[in-house]
């Protein structure tokens, strides 16, 4: 994940109360009208619950655009 990706993810999740699972992260970002690249990065996350935005950042694959669609 690039620095720009990290900034987009942080912005999309700003104000979210953690812990949150993958579905909650995506739903929150969608509600905030996050851009498609940010949503793609969040959809590429492994299933699970995240304690804070740092955990989310560390868990996004390096190249989320290459992840399998529908994840």
Q: What is the pLDDT of residues 48-62, one digit of tens each?
A: 999 999 999 899 886
Domain spans of the chain, in order of start: 3-64
Residue 68 confidence (pLDDT)? 46
pLDDT tens digits for 3-44?
777 888 999 999 999 999 999 999 999 999 999 999 999 999
* 53 closest CA partner among 15, 4, 23, 27: 15
């Amino acid at each position: 994940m690039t620095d720009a990706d990290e900034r987009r993810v942080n912005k999309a999740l700003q104000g979210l109360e953690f812990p949150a699972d993958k579905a909650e992260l995506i739903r929150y970002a969608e509600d905030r009208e996050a851009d498609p690249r940010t949503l793609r990065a969040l959809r590429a996350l492994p299933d699970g619950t995240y304690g804070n935005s740092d955990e989310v950042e560390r868990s996004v694959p390096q190249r989320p655009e290459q992840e399998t669609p529908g994840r």
